[in-house]
A and B are shown apart, each in its own frame.
Chain A
Amino acid sequence: MPLSGTPVRRPGRPGLLELTYLPSILKGMWITLRHMFRRKVTMQYPEQRWTLPENYRGLPALVRDEEGRVKCVACFLCEYVCPPKAIHIEAQEIDTGVEKGPRIFDINMLRCIMCGYCEEVCPEQAIFLTKEYTTVGVSRDEMIFPKDRLLEMGGVRPDPIKKWGRLTPRPGDGGRVDAPAGAGRSVTR
């Protein structure tokens, strides 16, 4: 079998009908017409929104527990694990005397790549990725979200981990001290 194939030839001279271009025009119009009756694919964005999946990773945010306390204990794990180093934390003592809390908790949303490592590493489940994905800003400073804004974004997320358990014993608990349920947590209930 020869290695070279047959070369493609140009089509021959167009006929009289093709010279009028009418068949080509009609063919094109037919395609346009057909698309008019197809299912519409365009999402009318600002009015119409996409339904996000449950595990969508948007901008990260801090959360409070159901009693309005900041869950974060400023352990710096998220700052450590963050690939682009978008998180900046400064710790402080808090009034309750149990653990500590963040004095400054800034996330540079322009650095953040929404990987979710912070959520994954957090031992107190204090940082979560929200479903917020349309925030834009006009300056860099505006896009560095401070603690207050992050808490506002996150809202309240009650869950079983309670670092405050030692302060407010549950009725019937009787001062019982269990072993910590999760690694890295020194707080007993």
Chain B
Amino acid sequence: MSGPPAGVLTEAEDRQSTEQWILTTRLADYVAWGRKNSLWPMPMGLACCAIELMAMVASRYDVARFGAEALRFSPRQADLMIVAGTVTKKMAPAVKRIFDQMPEPKWVISMGACASSGGMFRSYPVVQGVDEIIPVDVYVPGCPPRPEALIEGIMKVQQLVEEGARAAQGGTRPERRVPASGAR
């Protein structure tokens, strides 16, 4: 037998020993913790950026360390869309539909120059930034970005997931950013 007999512990001591073992948290924080460490990306690979996206998932950079290795090719099982590549006007409806098919909550990374702003394709068949059709949370510059930069983007999304949970506790949902107009 270990420990003192019943009735010896004071109330404060008792509470202290309980708090040592029980972690209290808010449900929203707990859910956000789970969400941010198990992002399931939807690889929207449209051009050469997709090669770097694959490199990020492969063993050298191994995005499994961030819990985001389960690339789902079905939008209904994904919560993070990584738009990697040039979004043409022809592909835009498909990108939009796939985004709409993803269940809430969902986040979007715009990877590379083409997806973020059209890049060097300042021409009529290319959408000048995927944020003209879907709301983008994180922009990753580069042509193409290195896998490290994309990992940096995923870490940023994880941060946004946490901040979103905090904002939700305050009663306000984090608002989607509307792409700025003007000189691009």
Contact = CB atoms under 8 A, between A and B. Distances in A.
Interface in A10-69: 41-46, 49-50, 59
Contacts of B119: 84, 110-111, 113
Interface of A: 41-46, 49-50, 59, 83-85, 88, 108-115, 133-141, 143
B141 A112 contact: yes
Contacts of B151: 45-46
Main secondary structure of the interface of A (DSSP, over half): loop
A42 B143 contact: no
Given A43-B61, A108-B117, A133-B148, A88 B183 contact: yes
Given A114-B143, A140-B116, 12 more contacts: A43-B61, A46-B151, A59-B141, A109-B141, A110-B113, A110-B119, A111-B119, A113-B113, A135-B149, A136-B140, A136-B149, A139-B180
A46 B66 CA distance: 11
Contacts of A42: 59-62, 65
Contact of A134 (B131, B148, B177, B179): B148
A113 B120 contact: yes
A109 B149 CA distance: 13
21 contacts: A42-B59, A42-B60, A42-B62, A43-B60, A45-B151, A46-B155, A50-B148, A59-B141, A88-B183, A110-B119, A110-B141, A111-B113, A111-B184, A112-B141, A113-B120, A133-B142, A134-B148, A135-B149, A136-B141, A136-B156, A138-B138
Interface size class of B (residues with CB under 8 A): 35 or more
A139 B65 contact: no
Contact of B139 (A84, A114, A136): A136
Q: Is the interface of B mostly helix, strand, loop or mixed?
A: loop
Nearest to A138: B138
A136 B180 contact: no
Contacts of B29: none
A155 B18 CA distance: 55
Contacts, number: 98
B132 to A, nearest CB: 11
Contacts of A49: 148
A168 to B, nearest CB: 37
Interface in B103-148: 113, 116-120, 122, 129, 131, 137-143, 145-146, 148
B149 A45 contact: no
A62 to B, nearest CB: 17
B68 to A, nearest CB: 13
A109 B142 CA distance: 8
B117 A111 contact: yes
A143 B177 contact: no
Contact of A112 (B113, B129, B138, B146): B113
A114 B142 contact: yes
Contacts of A140: 116-117, 129, 131, 139, 179-180, 184
